Chain A
Amino acid sequence: MGGDKIYIILLLGLPLLGFLINGLLGKKMPGAVAGIFGSLLIAGSFIVSLLFFLNGSETPVKINLCHWFHIGQWSIDFSFTIDHLSNIMLLIITGVGLLIHIYSIGYMKGDEAYARFFAYLNLFVFFMIFLVTGSNFLLMFIGWEGVGLCSYLLIGFWSDNNAYNLAAKKAFVMNRIGDVGFVLAMFYILQLFGSLEFDMVNAKAVLESMNVRDITIITLLLFFAATGKSAQLPLLTWLPDAMAGPTPVSALIHAATMVTAGIYLVIRNFALFSMAPITMETILWIGVATCLLGAIIGVKQNDIKKVLAYSTVSQLGLLFVALGSDAPVSSFFHLITHAFFKALLFLGAGSVIHAMSGEQDIRKMGGLKKHIPVTYAVFLIGTLAISGIPPFSGFFSKDEILEHVFVHNPLAYGLVQFASLLTVFYMFRLFYLVFHTSYRGTEEAKHHLHESPKVITIPLIILAIFSTIAGAIGLPHYLGAHHWLHDYLGAHIFIPHAEEVAQSTVFMLVGIAVGGAVLVWLLAWVLYTKKNTLPENSESEMNFFSKLVYRKFYLDELYNYLFKLPVNFISKALYFIDSKIIDKAVNLAGLTALSSGDAIRKVQSGKVGLYLFIMTLSVIGLILLQFLLK
């Protein structure tokens, strides 16, 4: 398969090339060259992904670029898998990535580190492709770490602001905590299965009856890694802070692609996961809790990006709920639609922030509808899609999940349904506060109000179109349609057999979801346009519950007490031990080495005669030794 090799090299190489060239020569590039160049390369990768998709083979294609190394009896290859799962991920990464690159050409215009931004963005795409195509855990881990690094670099992109640096650090540290799980799982898998290849591990897990306890430990560790990357409880607080990065970054990394890596990890190894019921239950309930928590916190946020961030947390929770209910296809379906509409919402928010000259507080917006009509229209589409109003894409995917959860666990269903109604509420709250009512911002910002240039609006329009129609890939059976995604994915990954749900139940669920959503929509409309309610301006005006929610359930403070302080204490104690005892010992060793070095150095005086004398002595010594040994 020589052709495939070239394709995969192109696929990975183009973004990497973009990183190298933008990173090394970017400073010398005039104007938007770096951005256009970066976008073109991503377009190249997108075309390659599309070619894979169109010429897709029936069986997964495994491309072994080369052997990497072997340790003992274990051997690791540089090999990549293109199957239906990774192919769709590729299309999202490069497709949405391309749109966001184009958007950034306009959005980042005038930034002094313009080329650096695109270099990082290209590098991110490279690692993300690496992550989804790598055919074993180790390659995936390289991508996993790589995207984490890029995320860190981009969150702290405007490094003049110290708060942003702290946010970047927090994201990095929290991700590292999760990575511990990944690494441990890798070792365990290697030990148990003797291989890190996904196909080998999953096939072996199904064929040979493995000890359930081992599988449970492995999958729990992997899931722990996923909670770090995909911002689930308990490792979720970094994601909202990550909004410090430029908005296109939030859209690409912290909404559409990187944060879904955890879900991808689970789907990729679903055969393994479905053998561990305890893990599946854990996933379900962590998902439910995160989904609910994110939605509740989202209701009280006043920063446009923070609202969207908590919404992302909540939606990611929903994806895990689907996984926990044995419905990987539905989860993946929602992952796809979510990538479109959340990218759309973030980019729309970026356009709003752009129009407002950098203002992010929704209390200072309002009435923007007539000033930025295009953004208004696409944001409305995004809001409708996330709220699950038919016929927008979110409706189909979310409904499918709810249906599975209902069958699996009615209690979880109730909570998730409630969370999704909250989603409708806070999204429309956001929407009305920003675009309707009257303008509340400063006069100066009002003066600058303007619609964004075409380079920004066109990607928005394209994303809006996809947010509307993406549901078509998974139309439900009651519409007499064929669930394309189910069959497409089912060909290549393990999908548990789902129970049939009675038609009437399905209709009831759809009725509850849509009816509820519309009611909540009306409620939001009444509250925020008719009654003109405004969020409280200061914490003192809030009652206990609002305050609790506003302060995000004091999660940060809790972590501070639970982890940061003890860790600080331990580190201080260790520092004491280190500096007073270990350092002394090390210094002593070093001193010995140094002084012995000095002693030998004296022999090295530069006098040839002395050298020759020592050499002769050594010669004689060695010969004598030889005779003694004989």
Chain B
Amino acid sequence: MLVELLGLRKLVGPVAVLGLLVTLYLNFMHWNEEVVVLDPIYNDMFVVNKMTMVFNAIILSLAVFLVFMGANFYKDEKKHWSDYLSIYIFAVCGAILMIGSHHLLMTFIGIEILSVSLYVLAGSNRTKVESNEAGMKYFIMGAFASGILLFGMALLFGATGTLHYQKLNTFLLAFNNSTPNTGFLYTGMVLILIGFFFKISAAPFHFWSPDVYQGSPSIVTAFMATIAKIAAVTSLYLLLNQVFVALHELYDILLILICIATICIGNILAIVQTNFKRMMAYSGISHAGFMILGILAVDFNHWHVIAYYTMGYGFANLVGFGVAIPVFKSMKNENVAAFNGLFFKRPILAVALTIALLSMASIPPLAGFWGKYYILSAALSKDLLLIVIIAIINTVLSVYFYFRIFVAMYARKPDNTPIEVSSSYKFLLIILTLILLVISLMPDMIAGCI
């Protein structure tokens, strides 16, 4: 249903927004139906329920704002805007497919739709060497990861004879060590997980993300940091809980290791970065670590915690990049120094970025704080004390690199380069910031109604 609608998208901005909004509306049509609605068209391969609706809604609303931001970003190349836009929409399509999927093949197709679109987008600035490099790197490594993922699926299929979530789950629940082909099964599962780790840039499969984030056009980076990451995390969360839940003793340790590595590497490396986008990449890596912790610790019937975390993360990132894009454009510089004296030049931008970064640094009472609070308290109730301590130490560390931006914005002298921002764009940023604030102030209400 969603896919068909998106597939027919016309190629102009307003229509795209309208389409996304219509999709959003259609998405909510089934809101009050508690039962799981399986879409018969795809042979049980696609499922719509409250949870997928919520995650779809997050993705779609982020996408709507990204289209607005994109319209501004590509102002100077009107010609290509429609091309880019169609690819964006295509990628969103893939993200939705990943979330709603109920069959591993479908998931794979979703991942590929999303990834291929992003390969193209990452390299879309043909005149810039970095962009070309980013696209190429992303493609090579992404292909590698896809290969691993697909290989894992093949092994799994060999062991179980099915790739359908429900059937796999039934199979695994009845599973014990005497079943043949356990080696295939385990290896398959690990390979699949690794494929996902790559997509959400968890350490040690994160190498692509700083290079690609830095090289890609900023708007694409924003897309990767928000929609792509949220879709992959959600997809992994659903996969683990709907399929591999019977094997959780096995993958728990894996996740714990990956989680610790990701949080630490993300934060420690973020400290030494001078390029804002690179820093955001590492910050995104550490957030991915927290999301993995969420996947690990949050029960399936408390999925709204994950939804809340991703929501807060997504909007804070969007505000962050939303501010960064015009600044970079005017300053012709993507370093932290580009923000010098921003408060004196564009106070609204500076305040919006402050709120976004404070949220990411998880300062109460902002969304980032509540999200982490929920996840950490879930982890505590699962006796994951060690990770919680490591996570908290890292959160404190992370304050350091976020505050470097504040120092630049408020304490450094501004230079004379003006920052050009249209008033409609400012309005967009204010709306985004307000959304972030609303999410922040009403954690229970939002977590409660979804």
User: Residues of A with Cβ closer than 8 Å to B?
Assistant: 24, 66-70, 75, 590, 593-594, 596-598, 600-601, 604, 606, 608, 611-612, 614-615, 618-619, 622-623, 625-627, 629-630
Could you jot down 20 A-B contacts, CB within 8 Å?
A: A67-B444, A67-B445, A68-B441, A68-B443, A75-B444, A590-B400, A594-B272, A597-B272, A600-B265, A601-B269, A601-B272, A604-B207, A608-B140, A608-B141, A614-B204, A615-B204, A622-B194, A623-B190, A625-B253, A629-B253
Q: Are A597 and B186 in contact (CB under 8 A)?
A: no
Contacts of B254 in A (CB 8 A): 622, 625-626
Contacts of A619 in B (CB 8 A): 148, 191, 194
Residue of B nearest to A76 (CB): B444
Q: Are A69 and B370 in contact (CB under 8 A)?
A: yes
Contacts of B444 in A (CB 8 A): 67-70, 75
User: Residues of B with Cβ closer than 8 Å to A?
Assistant: 137, 140-141, 144-145, 148, 182-183, 186-187, 190-191, 194, 198, 204-205, 207-208, 210-211, 250, 253-254, 257, 265, 268-269, 271-272, 348, 370, 397, 400, 441-445, 448
B148, B190, B208: the one contacting A611 at CB < 8 Å is B208
Q: Are A593 and B268 in contact (CB under 8 A)?
A: yes
Q: Are B207 and A600 in contact (CB under 8 A)?
A: no
Q: Indicate whether A618 sits within 8 Å of B205 (C-beta atoms), given known contacts A596-B268, A604-B269.
A: yes
Most buried by A among B145, B194, B207: B207
Q: Are A615 and B269 in contact (CB under 8 A)?
A: no
Contacts of B269 in A (CB 8 A): 597, 600-601, 604
Contacts of B250 in A (CB 8 A): 626, 629-630
Question: How far, in Å, is B191 (CB) from chain A's closest CB?
Answer: 7
Most buried by B among A66, A594, A614: A66
Question: How far, in Å, is B111 (CB) from chain A's closest CB?
Answer: 17
CA A594 to CA B271, docked complex, whole Å? 7
CA A48 to CA B418, docked complex, whole Å? 45
Contacts of A627 in B (CB 8 A): 183, 186
Question: How far, in Å, is B355 (CB) from chain A's closest CB?
Answer: 15
Question: How far, in Å, is B442 (CB) from chain A's closest CB?
Answer: 6
Question: How far, in Å, is A385 (CB) from chain B's closest CB?
Answer: 43
Most buried by B among A590, A598, A600: A600
CA A123 to CA B327, docked complex, whole Å? 31
Question: How far, in Å, is A113 (CB) from chain B's closest CB?
Answer: 15
CA A24 to CA B145, docked complex, whole Å? 49
Contacts of A626 in B (CB 8 A): 186-187, 190, 250, 254
CA A378 to CA B318, docked complex, whole Å? 57
B137, B183, B272: the one contacting A608 at CB < 8 Å is B137
CA A611 to CA B190, docked complex, whole Å? 19
Q: Are B190 and A598 in contact (CB under 8 A)?
A: no
CA A601 to CA B270, docked complex, whole Å? 10
CA A598 to CA B441, docked complex, whole Å? 38
Contacts of A614 in B (CB 8 A): 204, 207
Q: Are A615 and B144 in contact (CB under 8 A)?
A: yes
Residue of A nearest to B177 (CB): A630
CA A612 to CA B137, docked complex, whole Å? 10
Contacts of B271 in A (CB 8 A): 593-594, 597
Contacts of B370 in A (CB 8 A): 69
Q: Are A611 and B442 in contact (CB under 8 A)?
A: no
Contacts of A67 in B (CB 8 A): 442, 444-445, 448
Q: A604-B210, A604-B211 are in contact. List 8 more A-B contacts (CB 8 A).
A: A66-B442, A67-B448, A68-B445, A594-B271, A597-B268, A615-B145, A618-B204, A622-B190
5 closest residue pairs by CB, A with B: A611-B207, A597-B272, A618-B204, A69-B444, A597-B268
Question: How far, in Å, is A329 (CB) from chain B's closest CB?
Answer: 37
CA A612 to CA B272, docked complex, whole Å? 23
CA A623 to CA B193, docked complex, whole Å? 11
Contacts of A625 in B (CB 8 A): 253-254, 257
CA A625 to CA B442, docked complex, whole Å? 42
Question: How far, in Å, is B286 (CB) from chain A's closest CB?
Answer: 13
Residue of B nearest to A77 (CB): B444
CA A611 to CA B211, docked complex, whole Å? 11
Q: Are B194 and A612 in contact (CB under 8 A)?
A: no
CA A74 to CA B418, docked complex, whole Å? 49
Most buried by B among A68, A608, A618: A608
Q: Are A598 and B272 in contact (CB under 8 A)?
A: yes
CA A615 to CA B268, docked complex, whole Å? 20
Question: How far, in Å, is B260 (CB) from chain A's closest CB?
Answer: 14
Residue of B nearest to A625 (CB): B254
Contacts of B265 in A (CB 8 A): 600
CA A611 to CA B210, docked complex, whole Å? 12
CA A416 to CA B210, docked complex, whole Å? 73
